[in-house]
A and B are shown apart, each in its own frame.
Chain A
Amino acid sequence: MVDVAMVGAGQTKFGNHPLGLKGMWSEAIEKAFSSVDNDCLPSMVDEAFIGSIAFGGSQLGNTAALLTEHSGMDGVSVRRVENACASSGFALRDAWMTIKSGQADIVVAGGIEKMNDLSAERKRYWLGVSGDTEWERLAGLTFPGTYALTARRYFHEFESTHDDLVHVSVKNHMHGLDNEVAHLRKDVSFEKASSGAMVADPLTLYDCCPTSDGASAVILVADHLAHQFTDTPIWVKGSGAGSDKLALHDRPSLTQLRATQLASQKAYSIANVQPNQIDLAEVHDCFTIAEVLATEDLGFAGRGEGGLFARNGQGRRNEGNVTINASGGLKSKGHPLGATGTGQAVEVFKQLRHQVEAPRQVRDAEIGLTHNVGGSGATCAVHIFGRER
């Protein structure tokens, strides 16, 4: 079967972006194509998959056609992929499968979201559309609420306290401090992160990622074309995806994400890689408790030991077996819903090519992983990348 290589990747800065959808997308595409070592043009693309929730309802229909129209990909077969916050993780998977199946040779996967030019009321409405509307939302829950329920239960079931979440927050802010594309670039002390304003008890402001504007894109090609474009392709060694019950209360466990477990098991199996071989992982820390669960569900820590993992600083850059969220993660880099998944891939692409600015570079990075979750865990896509095929 065809192998798939990533030969280009680019993104806008995440945060309060002055541009609209067309401007942000074209900037991400421009950067992705200019990152390819040898000539590669938008007109060469066979297929494109663009993840977005179309937050705010802006160009809700035919979003993808508008974006490719404005990025030099006229006539390309394109569609919007929507799986909440995992939209572009699934766009990446769709792109990978398209090349694997032999139906296309050059495919763009990306994502975009414009979140910060809405009124507070409208923003809160759109932040809640991906949860379970009929049962959870009518009980007063949006995602801070569902993750708060998970956190409190986690503390009850295991030897863990809110301090463990504070460690996650401090680490990710430290990692994001030097990241030029990060939304929140600030050093946050343990004391400060411990005393944030309560959002959903026990989660405070420092446990929650920001809402960001942004776009990201990667260029995937079939193996026979990889070295036409670069001498250092990054291989997509494995892709896995899974789903779970939409509502938290319908799941057997409140402290595990089955979708992550299913997705990672498939990705590890296809890549023939074990968790202890991963050098860096960009995990979906929409809330700090989500990173604690992810370290367990992805196999970096044992069941119930994710809090301890954070407490011991095991995910810090170049300090443990695996660096967790070298980019700053969603907590610091930001979370433009639909753009987050391929934004993670952009970071891994640069890290594995050893092209990240000095203080942020993960030493000797050979294998990286991205973990992109939709909602409170209803969907998940995991990808494993490597310098070696």
Chain B
Amino acid sequence: MRRSVANRLTPYMFLAPAAVIMAIALLYPLGYMIWGSFRDWNPSQTIGEAEFVGLKNYVTLWNDPNFHESLGVTLKFAFFVVSFEMVIGVGLALLLDRDIRGMSVLRTLFILPMMIAPVVVGLMWRYMYHPTVGTFNRFLEDIGLPSVDWLGQHALMSIIIADIWQWTPFIFILSLAALQSLPSSALEAARIDGATGWQQIVHIKLPLMMPVLIVTALLRLIDAFKVLEVILVMTQGGPGLSTEILALRISRTATEFRELGVAAAMSNYLLMLLLLLTVAMFAFNRLQEIRAARTRAAAEEGV
């Protein structure tokens, strides 16, 4: 009898630690943040001492040109980063999807950039972009070209390049895995029909990979909104606000401008934006899945 009670309680005991930790260290803080976003709150006050100001923080941000600029930079950054990485990563996967010796070594080397701390990635690139001692300008000088003001005039482009370097391998590895798990029957059928390599890619491989590619793109998109350390180390958001993505602006608002309430409101805007994007991507994914299923069925039937 006692045994069965214990058995019935077991799942709860197994789940309890995780549930407790998530509740106190994730859910409660998020609620606390929403609560704080309605207050005029500075870091030397506890939240109880802060004055309730209603929606003021949200309205202030809505009309704040700096916030708009930062939002624009964030969207631009996320868009370019994800599109370039998808194109390059998937392209490389299609190119390297063959039976070569040393493929595992190659993959190992490719994942190296992802594993290294963002802070270190930032400092490596900051060095390489350095206007006088940096690798790139030295190289340009050596071959007789004018030097480029990487982290000055072209700061946004430069941080996008650094991110592409770090995260394209992620897309590459996932697309490669997807490619290698494609049903061989469909490809075989296409080959028998005399489809060229290019036709195979466009009509068979890409559509079949689509569900995975969308999840991959979504994961990258979400992560692109989280990038902070690399930019912090490379440009600190400058020059001006040209590379100050929202994550960085939140942290500056909280620490430098000492406006925790505004930072909390900004965090909420960011969360809402991410939620919107995720839902949109999911809807799109469902649509694609249905279409992919149809393609797959058609491909298998078409033998």
Are A and B associated in one complex?
Answer: no
Interface residues of B (CB under 8 A from A): none
Interface residues of A (CB under 8 A from B): none
